[in-house]
Amino acid sequence: MLTTANLNDREFDQFQSWLYRTAGINLSPAKKALVAGRLFKRLKHYQLDSYGEYFKLIMGHESAGELQLALDLLTTNETYFFREPKHFDFLRQQVLPQALPGKLFRVWSAASSSGEEPYSLAMVLAEGLSTTPWEIIGSDISTQVLTKARTGHYPMERARTLPQPLLVKYCLKGTGNQAGTFLIEKALRSRVTFIQVNLNDTLPPLGEFDVIFLRNVMIYFDQETKRKVVARLLPLLKPGGHFIISHSESLNGVSDALKMVAPSIYRKP
């Protein structure tokens, strides 16, 4: 009988190598149980007897959809509204007051997951930029989380980190069969565009940004991958623009093209 314990070391190595080649994500051996658990339902769906058979299936030319699904399952990460609030305070207090009136202000949430970060940013920009036009791009490698992000629809427990005045102003409370959920209002949703981007591949033409958020994704990259990803993103940051990473991450040995202005907050000269 197939169980998650049936993922052997050789099979884990196959998934590990593939994920590194595709997404730059470095899975430690400690993640073996996570890989087994997240893929187990797909093996049952196809009535397969081993993880090796599933790997062979997703590598087949006719299963691009399943390949993306496997990628989604292995790259989906935890996120929440106003995570690491000091970054939003910095944006509100230091960056937005310097925005040029009438000139489009652009922010890229480069690992946007299910949308909580870009919508948090949208609320901050809506509050802080009165007549200045703005837009946000949210990107992720997972099509699954991007589909969820575009809806702007979340269970009410996701609102626990969302300041009450912003929840009231920018979100609609679900009623009837939508009770226990909330929806980001349409006017705010329309200012956020979600696209699939693999940070380990050639970037699509995205234009230039005043601020790039690259948070809680570099922890999955080795040093060489971090260097390549940051080097790929920096040409898209305007001179004087801000580059923001997670408090648990560092650009030490990754890039010297940016000047640190506060812990985890950098500026392009």
Compute the distance between CA of residue 104 and CA of residue 132 in angstroms, rounded to an integer.
Answer: 7
**DSSP of 21-48:** HHH-----GGGHHHHHHHHHHHHHHTT-
Residue 199 in contact with residue 230, Cβ under 8 Å? no
Distances in Å between the alpha carbon of 263 and those of 123, 234, 251, 266? 23, 18, 10, 8
232 in active site: no
Which one from 140, 189, 210, 215 is the annotated catalytic residue? 140
Q: Which of 247, 234, 237 is nearest to 83 (CA)?
A: 247
Distances in Å between the alpha carbon of 42 and those of 9, 11, 34? 19, 15, 14
Q: How many helices (H) and strands (E) does the chain have?
A: 10, 10
Which one from 38, 150, 191, 267 is the annotated catalytic residue? 38
140 in active site: yes
Compute the distance between CA of residue 42 and CA of residue 15 in angstroms, rounded to an integer.
Answer: 14
Q: Catalytic site residues? A: 38, 140
